[in-house]
Amino acid sequence: MYNQNFSRIGYSLCARNGYEWNEKLYIIMERFLNLFMTRYEYEGIPEEFEQLYGNRNLFELMLFFSPAVAWFRRGGKLMALPVSGTYKYNAAGKPVNWTAYAINGTFSEELNEKNSVLMFNDQAMSVPYLQLLYEARFLIKLDSAMSQNIDLQSTPYIIEAFDENAKSASTWTKMLNEFKSRIVLRKKRDKGDKNDLLQSQVLNLGVELKTPDFMKAYNEFLFRGHTYLGIKNVNIEKSERLLTGEVSANDILVQNNYTNALNMRQKCFDELATKGIADKITVKPTELQTMTADISSMYQAQSGILNKGVNSNANVGSESKAE
């Protein structure tokens, strides 16, 4: 299991919700998760809560995989746990009863709108994992295509080898789906034939290196995921080619998604304070720090160019750029 110490919670939530899971997918999703968990800072979180949850925004991790997180008190302690997603609704469609469950499986809690508050990721109650999974599947395909394209820059061989038991056609399909660049042909051996591998053919494919094109497409799907997260993602090179209106349109989507998620979190905290479940908690954008190298080489000095170190505080939703 990839990164077992960190991913155990994520794996548990994926299994409980029946989500797709494999190592390549999780590497991509974990990068999205890292951005998701660090978009906001919180002021007023009780010390007892921080001791229980550690120094990470674990309720954000739960919200990444789950339809919602329920905030409530159990044994006098403030807790935030994922809900099953099965609700009882009032006539207008508002959830009024739900079930929260412990990550370690030790208990589940039947809750309602009087003794707890639900935190959704956004107005649409979207599940971030499922939204980003859609983009991640394209990223996996492009990653596999790049890997195949790089492999095919070398010269593959077609080798004839004897095999008493021929494989079924499904084997070939599997090899194609796995982007195999080495093909072994098996045939039955006649009596008296020697078992050697001397018969082989060189297959000169002459495949053009397409990695830069695949990488551009990869970044486009990556940026779509960043737009959902509310993170500005149009890089400088692309911005220079696009019309101002196109850049502004993407910025509006980024800011809308970021503000939508921020407001849903703050509304949850405001309701917690109103119901007396917790004191006032405030959510705000994370202040980003940028490290820029101080380069003053002889060449730059001669050219009159000096790159001074800059310490930048930026709003995630409006200023940050994806790498």
Give one word for 240, left, alpha or beta, with left for phi > 0 and alpha for psi -120 to 50. alpha
Q: What is the pLDDT of residue 304?
A: 56
Q: What is the pLDDT of residue 98?
A: 96
Task: Give the contacts of 113 (CB within 8 A, at least 6 positions apart).
Answer: 94, 95, 96, 97
74-111: b (≥16 Cβ within 10 Å) or e: eeeebbbbbbbeebeeeeeeebeebbbbeeeeeeebeb
Q: DSSP letter for 168, please.
A: P
pTM for the full predicted model: 0.73
Mean per-residue pLDDT of the chain? 80
Q: Which of 119, 78, 124 is nearest to 98 (CA)?
A: 119
- Which tokens is 120 given? 């959704």
Q: What is the predicted pLDDT for the residue at 143?
A: 92
Percent share of the chain, pLDDT over 70? 67
- Neighbouring residues of 12: CB distance < 8 A, sequence distance ≥ 6: 103
Please, which pLDDT band fits residue 310 given cuts at 50, 70 and 90?
very low
Return the number of other C-beta atoms located less than 10 Å from residue 122's C-beta: 19
- pLDDT of 232 strictly over 70: yes
Partners of 42 in beta bridges:
283
Q: How far is CA 218 from CA 22, 27, 141, 143, 221, in A?
A: 19, 15, 9, 8, 5
Highest mean pLDDT among 14-28, 42-56, 282-296: 42-56
Pairing of strands 108-112, 95-101: antiparallel
Gap between the Cα atoms of 241 and 263, Å rounded: 33
Q: Residue 153 above 50 pLDDT?
A: yes
What pLDDT was estimated at residue 147? 87
Quote the percentage of the chain above a pLDDT of 90: 51
Query: Does residue 149 register a pLDDT over 80?
Result: yes
Torsion of CA 136, 70, 271, 116, to 10 degrees: 170
How high is the pLDDT of residue 318? Answer: 44
Q: Do the bridges between strand 157-162 and strand 183-187 make them parallel or antiparallel, or are there none, so unpaired?
A: parallel
Question: Average of pLDDT values for 219-231?
Answer: 94
Instruction: Give 248 or 27, the one with higher predicted confidence.
Output: 27
User: Looking at residue 9, what is its pLDDT?
Assistant: 77
User: According to the model, what pLDDT value does residue 249 have?
Assistant: 74
The tens digit of pLDDT for each residue in 276-290 reads: 999 999 999 999 888
How confident is residue 181, by pLDDT bands cut at 50, 70 and 90?
low
Mean pLDDT computed over 169-191: 62
Single-letter code of the amino acid located at 160: E
User: What is the reported pLDDT for 5?
Assistant: 42
